[in-house]
Amino acid sequence: MTPLFDVPTLLAYLAAATILVLIPGPGTAWVVAQTVAGGTRRGLHAGLGLETATLIHATAAGLGLSALLATSALAFELLKYAGAAYLVWLGIKAWREGGDVQAASAAPRATAHVFRRSVVTGVLNPKVALFFLAFLPQFVHPERGMAWLQFLVLGALLSAIGFANSATLAFLVGRFGHRRAGSPRLARWRQRAIGTVFLGIGLRLALQQRG
């Protein structure tokens, strides 16, 4: 039975994926913001949600669904603005909580919805889908069979690397934030800073182009 990948291809992919994960981006800002809001556990939930979205995108790419975003301007715009609107809503919500000390202080306990929010945030980013469509095929060899499984394996590897990076961020930021927690005033401004991050990511997504 022919293996799905040869060693040189797999090593090249792992090196490229690691470099791409280490480049700061919206995902990094999301994990950091969630960790600042609720500690290491919340940051881990955020990272796990984003990497679940990575697996969803990898599966979609393998099934050919991501090609729709590359060929349909309407599909790209609809998904882009849905994602941007969701992030802006999260930003506004964080700002409103920043005006309520009790809501802000309750934020560390609100980890139940972070995973779901993170999955939605990752899935509603069309740039991620286009990235998979452009990046993963370079390491997929249809002649080896089961191209869809190759996409899924590559996505799982990228997801594992991404979560390792998110977990490291969550532990580091969680420890730093824990030493400075407890002030109602700090909690209020922390929520507003998080809201600003969400608003910035949402606006960045709304303004990005397909190319």
Prediction pTM value: 0.69
Instruction: Pull the structure tokens for residue 111.
Output: 């980890």
> Quick one: pLDDT at residue 167?
94
Query: What is residue 160's predicted lDDT score, i.e. its pLDDT?
Result: 94
pLDDT band at residue 121 using 50, 70 and 90 as cut-offs: confident
Does the pLDDT of residue 14 top 80, yes or no?
yes
Mean pLDDT of 150-174: 90
Question: Which residue would you say has higher pLDDT here, 46 or 175?
Answer: 46
Is pLDDT larger for residue 192 or for residue 98? 192
Residues 66, 210 contacting (CB under 8 angstroms) = no
Higher pLDDT, 183 or 171: 171
pLDDT tens digit sequence for 37-81 = 788 999 999 999 999 999 998 888 878 765 665 667 776 677 677
Range of weakest confidence among 3-12, 38-47, 104-113, 158-167: 104-113
Q: Which residue stretches of 23-146 are H helix?
A: 26-38, 40-63, 67-71, 73-98, 101-106, 114-123, 126-135
Q: Which residues contact 29 (CB under 8 A, 6 or more apart)?
A: 197, 200, 201
Report how far apart the first and last C-alpha atoms of the chain are (Å, whole number): 39
Average pLDDT in the chain = 76
Higher pLDDT, 140 or 54: 54
pLDDT for the residue numbered 12: 86
Q: What percent of the chain has pLDDT over 70?
A: 73
Instruction: Give domain limits for the chain.
Output: 26-207
